[in-house]
Amino acid sequence: MNRRILIPTDFSKNALNAIRYTVDLYAKLNCDFYFLNVFSFEKYTTNNLNIPEEGSAEFEQAKQNSEKKFTKLLNTLALHIENPKHNYYTESTYSFLSEAIKKNIAEKDIDLVAMGTKGATGSKRVLLGSNTVMAMEKIRECPVLAIPENTSFTSPKEIVFPTDYNEVFKKMELNYLVEIGKMHNAEIAILHLNQKKGLSETQLSNQQLLKIILSEVKHTFYNLTEKDLGVGIQTFVENRNSNMVAFINRKHFFFSSVFSRPLIKEIGYDSKVPILALH
């Protein structure tokens, strides 16, 4: 069965870059890519109750503009990327982005959501755009891949997987990490975040389980000595030229502690490493 990948786009350069990265990342697999554009009305705001209704001239014009941009996008992809294993589908809709994403995930049984970390109004002082943060925190049905602005695709050779070993790992949670590792012959660098000396019996048990789950791919264990979580991960990634960071986002505490606004400066404004949030 084909992998089904949903990629929201606002037709910005960053969104196009995210599409190209994801298409290249999954070049070896049979995939159906669903490109989603949630269009808006320039003359209207969310406070204006007179939003054009479906079927009205304003609504149809906005939808037509979105569809024209999709035609241009598909032509661009045809010029730069031609892969007989891939099928492309487009959807132009008016909705809240989160609702449109969740609706597509349910209706199309989406395996992965991929998106750029900044939209058309990208700010250099924001590492992860608000839409990306929303997706990584609220979408629990499938993994979310966030591709930083200006990230050029290179086949990942090392994927950093931070963990404290405090929770039991499930094979299903790590399926997509293992899949990417196998596709690109990448090594999984397991980064231990606990500052205490030694592991408890529970942690050792969970570490052994992780070894079993990752037995099909190369993997190595490392300890993080940096006291600051965000700084430690960023330093590790930069020093080793790692290509991706993956983590299990079971609860908000890990995501918020590593990628929250207070840590943006420590992590760096111009991260070049995609982030894969597993659920």
Distance CA 154, CA 144 (A): 19
* Confidence at residue 262, expressed as pLDDT on a 0 to 100 scale: 37
247 or 254, which is more confident? 247
Q: Report pLDDT digits (tens) over 15-28.
A: 999 999 999 999 99
Predicted confidence band at 48 (pLDDT cuts at 50, 70, 90)? low
Average pLDDT of the chain?
A: 83
* Confidence at residue 87, expressed as pLDDT on a 0 to 100 scale: 96
Domain at 158-277, CATH homologous superfamily: HUPs (3.40.50.620)
pTM, two decimals, is 0.86
Distance CA 224, CA 78 (A): 44
* Confidence at residue 222, expressed as pLDDT on a 0 to 100 scale: 93
Q: How is the chain split into domains, by residue range?
A: 3-147, 158-277
Nearest to 16 by CA among 180, 150, 143, 135: 150
Can 3-147 and 158-277 be said to share one CATH topology?
Answer: yes
Q: Would you say residue 219 has pLDDT above 50? A: yes
Query: Which amino acid appears at position 128 of this protein?
Result: L
133 or 245, which is more confident? 245
* Confidence at residue 271, expressed as pLDDT on a 0 to 100 scale: 61
Predicted confidence band at 133 (pLDDT cuts at 50, 70, 90)? low
* Confidence at residue 49, expressed as pLDDT on a 0 to 100 scale: 56
Choose from 64-68, 109-113, 192-196 the range with maximum mean pLDDT.
109-113
* Confidence at residue 9, expressed as pLDDT on a 0 to 100 scale: 93
Q: Report pLDDT digits (tens) over 197-209.
A: 788 899 999 999 9
Contact call for residues 195 and 165 (beta carbons, < 8 A): no
DSSP string, the chain: --EEEEEE--S-HHHHHHHHHHHHHTTTS-EEEEEEEE---TT--TT-S-PPPTTSHHHHHHHHHHHHHHHHHHHHHHHH---TTEEEEEEEE-S-HHHHHHHHHHHHT-SEEEEESS-TT--TT-SS-HHHHHHHHH--SS-EEEE-TTPPP---SEEEEEE-S-S---GGGGHHHHHHHHHHTPEEEEEE---SSS--HHHHHHHHHHHHHTTTS-EEEEE---SSHHHHHHHHHHHHT--EEEEE-SSHHHHHHHHSGGGHHHH-TT--S-EEEE-
* Confidence at residue 138, expressed as pLDDT on a 0 to 100 scale: 75
Q: Would you say residue 247 has pLDDT above 90? A: no
Predicted confidence band at 164 (pLDDT cuts at 50, 70, 90)? confident
Q: What is the mean pLDDT of residues 53-72?
A: 83
* Confidence at residue 209, expressed as pLDDT on a 0 to 100 scale: 97
Predicted confidence band at 123 (pLDDT cuts at 50, 70, 90)? very low
- Out of 103-107, 124-128, 140-144, 200-204, which region has the weakest mean confidence (pLDDT)? 124-128
Predicted confidence band at 61 (pLDDT cuts at 50, 70, 90)? confident
Contact call for residues 188 and 157 (beta carbons, < 8 A): no
DSSP string, 82-130: --TTEEEEEEEE-S-HHHHHHHHHHHHT-SEEEEESS-TT--TT-SS-H
Q: Would you say residue 7 has pLDDT above 60? A: yes
Angle CA(119)–CA(11)–CA(269) in degrees, nearest 5? 25
Predicted confidence band at 43 (pLDDT cuts at 50, 70, 90)? low
Q: Would you say residue 261 has pLDDT above 50? A: no
* Confidence at residue 185, expressed as pLDDT on a 0 to 100 scale: 97
CATH of 3-147, one of 3.40.50.150, 3.50.50.60, 1.10.10.10, 3.40.50.620: 3.40.50.620
